[in-house]
Amino acid sequence: MDEKEKISAVLQEASQAMDSGDYQKAFELTRRACDLQPKNARLWITAGTLSGQIGELEGAEHCLRKALALAPDSTTALENLSVTLVSKGEAEKALQYATHAILLNPAAKTLDRRGYILAQLGRHDEAIRDFREALDANPKLAGAHNNLGVSLQAIGAHEEAFDSFSRTIALEPKHADAWNNKGLACQALGKLEQALAAHRQAVELNPQHSSALAELAATLERSNQVGEARSAAGRALEIEPDQRKASLVLAVLDRRDGNLDSAEARCRALLSNAENTQEKGELSLELAQCLDKLGRYDEAFGLFERGQKLLLESWHSKPEKQAYLEQIEANGRWPHPSGPTARSNSVQEYRTPAFLVGFPRSGTTLTASILDAHAAISASDEQPLIPSLMKFAETTLGIQPGSITTDQRAALASEYWRMVEENDDLAMADTLFLDKLPLNITRLGFIRQVFPQAKIIVALRDPRDVCLSAFMQSFKPNPAMVHFTNLSDTAKLYCKVMKTWLAIRNSNLPGVFESSYESLIDNFETSTKELLEFLGLEWTEDVGRFHEKTRSAYLSTPSYQAISEPIYQSARNRWKNYREPVKQITPVLAGYLSAFGYTEKTDSVD
């Protein structure tokens, strides 16, 4: 048998091995062929590709560099070497080879590969450009749609990311990664049912997908399905013992179950080898929550500070604090709201919602959960209906702050209910719709222009507890929540926001009810009956058992754990555990402590 016949026989056997899934044997045979014909670049490329598939990255790099020495302009060798280098953690080197490949052949798949490398380097804006160019060349490239979605998700463009993952799935319905990524986008958008369904589908398609199992566990924990969450996290760790998200979910579940020593140990183990700034921030905040429950307050506060600082550093684009302060000023240009007026005939066909507002962490989630347990009430979970309506008023209808006409009011009411109906989970037609978005407290002038009949509930709580609690949470980055990354800025924003309410409050506005968090937890039934009476409803036993309903509900706010339990007192006067840091913001809050009745002598921080 001559050399040519030997090579042919070896390659035929290698092909049969590949067809049977035996990549190790296929690699060994192809490598033998390379020795028989060492100047054949195509053989070295094949050997390098097979070496990568069996996890032998050093061998893959060696073979592909051999190929490039023989054929420097081989785009296949350049592309495969770039993939190998990324797998080795050498993304900067990989980028050089991917860019060279594009210069030789700017094909869709080549652009997609470079985009992936740029994404690994955190250069998502550049990656998005490559993915879009790849998709312009080949709109049916499912992997590029998925990769585009990942980068869009990374920069906070969650709606666009959701669309990209949906396109991936339309092209490849069994793309498990795309289903898992779609679940992540749904989580970011507050779409619980869709998130759960997407993660479950990913796991069904690939039961060994540890990341999908971990994300399923996280979503189940957020929806208070703790038993199934623990099971999913455990399965993820059986498959991948170092699965970090699954370990974090177990730490959260341990904290919730009161197994604080275990929760602390898990957090510290994860924190000791955290992979990036965002993860360090999230773990620091979770560890701080454990230490708070253990009564180690000084240590906890230091970790809250560290966690917030790290999360702020990790954000792809940092929202401008000033932007939200200017937005509050703009909202204030609408006239101060007046009392309910006679209903106009032109808007009689539209329902009138009620509104629940207040500064974040003032008890709005607790109040909404209690009221939502009443069969005659449907409460929203912080959907930006009014902000979107204000944008519609300005950009579509050309309405500027001021009094609006009857026809404009009708158009705005129609658009509002259209948005409500778009969200299937928001409101049943025969119920009172309670629009809960705390910072709508700065938009009451606009709200009463559109819905003159609307009743408004304002949630109040000790400003010291409010600011401390807001600072202790992990919020999604936006121009409002960026203020909560340190306690001082939290207090300043509180004053800016609540100043708008004090101005309205002093005018004795009818149709408004102030609900005190402290009264609600001290005198639950009495306070709740007063709330229901204000809304024109009577007490029902379901309201007293509100926590049973919320145990399986998904809430987008940090209060999702607390409202799954009966009323408890531990969050009241929490600020007293952190007297020194709170002392720094007390002078700033003094006017509001006095106005809202929180200045008893026993509250001194001295």
Count Cβ atoms below 10 Å from residue 172 Cβ, excluding itself. 16
- 458 strand-pairing partners: 357, 514
The order of strands in the sheet holding 377-379 is 377-379, 432-436, 354-358, 456-460, 512-516
Please calculate the CA angle 455-457-463 and round it to the nearest 5 degrees. Answer: 155
CATH number for 397: 3.40.50.300
Secondary structure of residue 113 in the 3-state scheme: helix
245 located within any domain: no
The pLDDT of residue 507 is 81
Assess contact for 518 and 462: CB atoms under 8 A: yes
Over range 357-371, report the average pLDDT: 94
Q: How far does CA 308 lie from the centroid of its chain? A: 16
276 located within any domain: no
486 located within any domain: yes
Count Cβ atoms below 10 Å from residue 141 Cβ, excluding itself. 20
pLDDT bucket at 7, cuts 50 / 70 / 90:
confident
The mean of the pLDDT values for the chain is: 89
pLDDT digits (tens, 9 = 90+) for 152-170: 999 889 999 999 999 999 9
Q: Which residues contact 516 (CB under 8 A, 6 or more apart)?
A: 460, 461, 527
Number of domains in the chain: 1
388 located within any domain: yes
590 located within any domain: no
Over range 135-142, report the average pLDDT: 97
Q: What share of the chain is helix, strand, coil (3-state, %, to 5)?
A: 70, 5, 30
pLDDT bucket at 14, cuts 50 / 70 / 90:
confident
Angle between helices 192-205 and 176-189 (to 10 degrees): 160
Q: Which two structure tokens, joined as six digits, stand for 387?
A: 């902000």
Full domain range(s) for residue 362: 325-566
88 located within any domain: no
176 located within any domain: no
* Pairwise CA distance, residues 463 & 131, whole Å: 47
Whole-structure pTM value: 0.81
* Pairwise CA distance, residues 25 & 15, whole Å: 10
Range of weakest confidence among 55-59, 187-191, 539-543:
187-191
pLDDT bucket at 550, cuts 50 / 70 / 90:
low
Nearest to 311, CA basis, from 334, 336, 277? 277
Assess contact for 21 and 12: CB atoms under 8 A: no
Secondary structure of residue 490 in the 3-state scheme: helix
pLDDT of residue 337 exceeding 90, the answer is: no
Position 198, amino acid: A
Count Cβ atoms below 10 Å from residue 376 Cβ, excluding itself. 15
525 located within any domain: yes
Secondary structure of residue 511 in the 3-state scheme: coil
- 354 strand-pairing partners: 434
Assess contact for 431 and 376: CB atoms under 8 A: yes
Q: Percent of the chain, pLDDT > 70?
A: 91
What b/e sequence results for 425-464 when a residue is b if at least 16 CB atoms lie within 10 Å of its CB, and e otherwise? ebbeeeebbbbbbbbbbbbbbbbbbbbbbbbbbbbbbbbb
